[in-house]
Amino acid sequence: MLGRLMPREGKFFDLFNAHAERIVEGSRELAAMIGNFSELEAHAQRIDTAERAADKITHECITLLHKTFITPFDRDQIHQLITSMDDILDLIQDVAESVALYDLRRVTPEAKQLAEICQMCCERVRTVVGLLTNVKRPDAILKLCEEIDRLESDADRVMRAALSKLFREENDLKQVMKLRVIYDLLETITDRCEDVANVIEGIVLENS
């Protein structure tokens, strides 16, 4: 009786897509912030706005999960997906806050490259999340997950080269410490994108 009274399916896909849009907004602001290294406060404010909106979506999704009798796929996978997506924007916000906290005055080409890779990862996250309504045709989904994995590997390589160059060429110890934190946070964004890809791969393989 209770099951007949509770909602079925819910609007999970709408929430996933709305969250993914906020992720892309945040990643674009971050890439612009690091790439141009101007109007830092304005970019940071727009990232904060995207992050707060995404937090509300995450909360709504988890609340809906507790109220929905039949979900589109496993409840744990829904929870893992939305929280993994939320981790991406949290880290984007961490980068913006660290730029201000450490009073970073200049960035390197490698930092700009990492920010661009982050944006590419986030855009693919949005695309692959949008395909979740059709897990019966997994080829396109799995291909995008592979692309995210490759971008994460690219970020690893860029970060290793960036750190090597930083330790060899930068004489200002404070700048070394600041940039090391920024590099690490940027690379970790791609790790969290890979986490989302891994969750989605699991969903597809179990439901296709």
The total number of structural domains in the chain stands at 1
Tokens of 205: 């393989």
Taking each helix axis as running N to C, give the angle between helix 109-130 and helix 12-36, from 0 to 180 degrees, rounded to the nearest 10: 170
**Which range marks the domain in which residue 122 is found?**
2-207
User: Where does residue 10 fall: left (phi above 0), alpha (psi -120 to 50 degrees), or beta otherwise?
Assistant: left
Give the pLDDT of the chain (208 residues) as one tens digit per residue.
Answer: 333 433 445 599 999 999 999 999 999 999 999 999 999 999 999 999 999 999 999 999 999 998 888 888 899 999 999 999 999 999 999 999 999 999 999 999 999 999 999 999 999 999 999 999 887 778 999 999 999 999 999 999 999 999 999 999 999 999 999 999 999 999 999 999 999 999 999 999 888 7
Residue 152 in contact with residue 190, Cβ under 8 Å? Answer: yes
The total of other beta-carbon atoms located within 10 Å of residue 117's CB is: 25
Burial class (CB in 10 A: 0-12, 13-18, 19+), 172: exposed
CATH number for position 79: 1.20.58.220
- For 135, counting Cβ atoms within 10 Å of its Cβ (0-12 exposed, 13-18 middle, 19+ buried), the class is middle
- DSSP track, 102-156: TT-----HHHHHHHHHHHHHHHHHHHHHHTGGGTTS-HHHHHHHHHHHHHHHHHH
